[in-house]
Amino acid sequence: MCRVLLLLLLTNGLTSSLHAQATIEGRVQLPAPSANFGFNQRYAATADVASPAVNPPAAIVYLEGNFGPLPKLTAPAVMAQENQTFTPDLLAIPVGGAVIFPNRDDMYHNVFSYSKAKRFDLGRYRKEEKPKPVVFDKPGAVTIHCEIHEAMRGTVLVLATPHFVKTGSDGRYRLENLPTGRYLLKAWVDGNDIREHWVELKSGQTLQVDFPGTR
């Protein structure tokens, strides 16, 4: 009988936890990808000069609120330097997460940031060298630069919430297992373009929230 009760409780808890979940999905209108490679286009035609890749545009949609302890990342996130670009150029990690910056190109790269959230400088290193992972313990946007290549730009968004997702290249996102309540839903497109939307979450509900472009 106790087992049955326990089972019931458990299922109740499960079901209640199941019932307490809301979903938000939608679409963020993303700006068109920049065509400026920061690289002289004239030389892009020659085969031996590698042209830098262009990352597809994306945004990070996250729910701002006090959600308790953040989960720990099992493995450090990766922001690689590949084809003279940071790949991915937008990375969202929870506070306390670590990121490694491997160099996958044949040339020297340098990773540094002057951002207030994290100031670091990994110096110049080649492919073989494995730099130490960098732990980001303050929330905020950290702009990653490469000293040698002026066009290389990456952002690590350190978030104090576990509920975040990166949109697809089309701008669609889906946040699941969200607690009920009233929270502020934010979409981070870039440092100057952070869109907000208050949401009222009810259990079992799927909200449709779109973030149209401001410009």
Partner 1 sequence: MMLVVFAVTAATVYFAEENRSSNQQRLLDAQFANRVRPFLATQEARARAIKGKCWTLAQAVRLRAALEERDPEDLYQNARAELSELLDGSRANGDDASGVRASFYCFFDAKGAILLPENKESELTNPNFPSHDLQALERASRGTTDQSVCYLALARSDRPVALREVIVTRVRDWNRKNLGSLAVGFAMGELQLSGADRESGLRSGFWLNRRFYTDELPGSDRRLVAEKILLALNRQTSAPFRIDLTTGPHLVFFQALDPEMKVTPAYQVCLYPLAASLREERALRWKIIGFGLVVLLAGFAVSLFFARGLSKPVEKIVAGSKENLTRRVQAEENLREKNEELKKALEELKATQQQVIQQERLSAVGQMASGIAHDFNNTLMPILGFTELLLENDNLLSDREEARRCLEMLRTSAKDAASVVARLREFYRPAISEEAFPMVDLAKIVRQAVALTEPKWRSQSQARGVTFEVVAEIAETPFVAGEEAALREVLTNLIFNAVDAMPEGGRITLQTTIEGENAVVRVVDTGTGMSEIVRQRCLEPFFSTKGENGTGLGLSMVHGIVERHHGRLQIHSEQGRGTAFTISLPLASEASEMVPAGAPNNDFSSAGLRVLVVDDEAPVLDVLARYLRCDGHAVATAASGREALEKFRRNPFDLVLVDRAMPEMSGDQTAKSIREVKRDVPIVMVTGFSSFDKASPPEAIDEVLYKPITLDALRGTIGRLLHAA
**Residue numbers at the binding site for partner 1 (CB under 8 A):** 34, 36, 38, 112-116, 119, 143, 145-151
The nearest distance, CB 46 to partner 1, in angstroms, is 20
Nearer Cβ to partner 1 (13/38): 38
Burial class (CB in 10 A: 0-12, 13-18, 19+), 211: buried
CB of 120 vs partner 1, minimal distance in Å: 12
Collect all residues with Cβ–Cβ distance below 8 Å to 111 and sequence separation of at least 6.
81, 101, 120, 121, 122, 131, 144, 145, 146
Nearest distance from C-beta of residue 65 to partner 1, angstroms: 28
Nearest to partner 1 of 113, 161 (CB atom): 113
Which residue, chain included where needed, has tokens 């607690």?
Answer: 179
Least distance CB 138 / partner 1 (angstroms)? 14
Based on CB atoms, which residue is closest to partner 1, 43 or 114? 114
Q: What is the DSSP string of 99-135?
A: EE--B-SSS-EEEEE--SS--EEEEEE-SS--PPPEE
115 or 161, CB closer to partner 1? Answer: 115
